Amino acid sequence: MSGLIKALAEQRSCSLIGMEKNTGKTVTLNYLLDHLPSERRVAVTSIGLDGESQDQVTQTRKPEIELREGMLFATSEKHYRMRKMVAEIIDVSQERTALGRLVTAEVKQKGKVILSGPGSSQSVRRWMDETEGRADLIIVDGALSRKSVASPTVSESMILSTGAAYSANMEKLVRDTAYIVELIQLPKETEGGEEKIYLTGAVTNRVLESILGDKTAAGKEVVIQDFTRVFAEQLLWHRFCKVHRVSVQQKSRLLAITVNPTAPNGMVLDSDKLCKEMFEATGVATYDLVKKLKVDR
């Protein structure tokens, strides 16, 4: 499993993105925090809410977040007061969240904390800029519904968590995850002065259909800012890519895929098969961190 930690240790920042709730993002975060070298100074926050002992929707147990001495974290005033650790406050932001101001602190004695950090990718970026000089690696816990936090303008790398909570149909789970990976791995814009189409906003079905219907656009390279701008359906996207080369101005780096074969309703997929099929469909190293299983060749 050292390959994942080695790849992460080479980064300055990393976002954790889940295909759905309960796909194992917190398990992934805890694994990373537990296995990163102690000399690596780590800072962590969440764009949502992470670390509760029970899911408020499904009422199922969730893994809590445990931080060790020397780590930095950012959370709301409310959840800072609820921490189960000894910590020293470094900064209290004047920017407010729904749960109070954002508190950045250093762990003095290991313990547990609920992370409820900045509420937007812009706020996350500001916090990262302020924290960069204090940490070697910044980890941001995000969500696919807020995938802008995975933009290369925010973090330089990402880890994608997926699993049975998204779909208990393995074929659909693998296919939909592979589509997200395909978007993450879009190539950089080609160099040269040939005529291109630049899209600055969201890439929706309507946008793609408009370009497909324009005969003067046939065969031109379509350039978008990064993969987080794509909101098109798979079938239309693949039809579009048969006609146009799509590239990005800023490319994301996907370090790994982690899978959770267990759904909140108790449905369990075959982990070995899931990891194997996920790797075959994406070419990305795939891990079940609970089972200590890795597939990358």
- Same-domain pairing of 57 and 17: yes
pLDDT at 206 over 50: yes
CB 287 within 8 A of CB 257: yes
- Predicted local distance difference test score (pLDDT) of residue 121: 84
The CATH number given to whatever domain includes residue 85 is 3.40.50
- Same-domain pairing of 66 and 158: yes
Total number of domains constituting the chain: 2
- Same-domain pairing of 260 and 244: no
- Same-domain pairing of 165 and 86: yes
- Same-domain pairing of 160 and 200: no
pLDDT per position as a tens digit, 90-126: 999 987 888 889 999 999 999 999 999 887 888 889 9
- Predicted local distance difference test score (pLDDT) of residue 1: 47
pLDDT per position as a tens digit, 251-267: 989 999 999 999 988 89
The CA-CA-CA angle for residues 281, 287, 289, to 5°, reads 155
Crossing angle for the helix pair 25-35 and 2-9, to the nearest 10 degrees: 80
- Same-domain pairing of 242 and 159: no
- Same-domain pairing of 127 and 241: no
Q: Which of 107, 78, 79, 76 is nearest to 92 (CA)?
A: 76
Q: What is the largest CA-CA distance in the chain?
A: 64
- Same-domain pairing of 79 and 224: no
Tell me which residue has tokens 């080479």. Answer: 10
Determine the structural domain holding residue 217 and report its residue range: 189-248
Rounded CA gap, 122 and 189, in Å? 24
- Same-domain pairing of 120 and 257: yes
Phi/psi for 107 (5° steps) reads: -75, 125
How much is the average pLDDT of 61-81?
A: 91
What is the dihedral angle through the alpha carbons of 246, 248, 252, 253, rounded to the nearest 10 degrees? 60
- Same-domain pairing of 278 and 161: yes
- Same-domain pairing of 149 and 54: yes
- Same-domain pairing of 61 and 158: yes
